[in-house]
Amino acid sequence: MTLEEIDLAAWIGRHETVADTISPAPVMALSATLDHPAAPVPHGMALPPLWHWLYFLPMQRQSEIGPDGHARRGGFLPPVPLPRRMWAGSQFEFRSPVRVGDQAARTSTIDDITRKNGRTGPLVFVKVRHELRCNDAPAPALIEFHDIVYREAPSQNDVPPPPQAAPADASWRREVAPSEVLLFRYSALTFNGHRIHYDRRYVTQVEGYPGLVVHGPLIATLLLDLLRRERPDAQVASFRFKAIRPTFDLGAFHVNGEPHADGRTIHLWASDMDGWLTMDATVVLR
């Protein structure tokens, strides 16, 4: 079906609920992947912000996987017939801790679908609302909005948007080497089969990128991990990030932070090997 033939509005309000146990093994694995020293993960330990992404993983059968490594279109998300699907950003409210040992359930709802025409053709924006509840609590511990954008594959005549220089000064700064092993380990931890993160032939010859793409959620996790390293006792109330441009495995990138004068708001951002802004984020502390 063509984009014009699909009634995208009919998908708004569609929802699904997935249950999971917040077990310790994924926490230990991501901690090692982010290069933290080995430490016990006791029952009742609160997850660091965004580490809930280690759970409620997609479990499509192998026969349901499309050529790009994602699940075939349809199912919960609308069957948008545009070849590129990207994580554009997210917004979070952290209301109460999610702890190791919790019996958790995540209810996902298609909150909105918008179609626009961009410089390179049609764009479809899908906003998904996730509510995570623990141990049958009536109120969610965490609310997340996930922004997905679908777009056409690039053509030879496309002119990329001009890059934006990252802020020059940062109180906090950490260099990250996006090795193939790091990208593979994060893909494995999140059961992400998208080939742009590990298949160099596919990503360069089919998708047209210059190298492997660093996961947007990994960069967002590294931004909050920088906060955790600099202020271990900080309690995050809300967080939002926007993906600005892709980051590739062609050189080291940086995660950066600058606290505001109010003491609660912190500007976080990522910059690539050339100093261009790749992700912009804001965190508000309790």
**For residue 93, what is the domain's CATH number?**
3.10.129.10
Confidence of residue 121 (pLDDT cuts 50, 70, 90): confident
Coil, strand or helix at 149: strand
pLDDT digits (tens, 9 = 90+) for 4-34: 888 999 999 999 999 999 999 999 999 999 9
DSSP state of 18: E
Half-sphere exposure of 269 (CA within 13 A, CB side): 20
253 closest CA partner among 275, 268, 232: 275
Q: What range defines the domain where residue 245 resides? A: 3-285
Tell whether the torsion through CA atoms of 78, 80, 86 and 91 is positive or negative: negative
Q: Is the pLDDT of residue 172 over 80?
A: yes
Using the CB atoms, write b or e for 87-108: b if 16+ within 10 Å: bbbbbbbbeeebbbbbebbbeb
What distance in Å separates the CA atoms of residue 57 and residue 206, rounded to the nearest whole number?
26
The percentage of residues in the chain with a pLDDT greater than 90, rounded to a whole number, is: 81
User: How many structural domains comprise the chain?
Assistant: 1
Q: Once rounded to an integer, what is the mean pLDDT over residues 51-65? A: 94
The pTM of the full predicted model, rounded to 2 decimals, is 0.94
| pLDDT at site 83 | 84
For 66-112, the pLDDT digits (tens) are 888 988 777 788 989 888 888 999 999 999 999 999 999 999 999 99
Q: In this predicted model, what pLDDT tens digit does every residue of 209-225 receive, in sequence order?
A: 999 999 999 999 999 99
Question: Given this model, what pLDDT does residue 75 score?
Answer: 77
Q: Give per-residue pLDDT as tens, 250-267.
A: 999 999 999 999 999 999
Cβ distance 19 to 105 under 8 Å?
yes
Residue 60 has pLDDT above 80, yes or no: yes
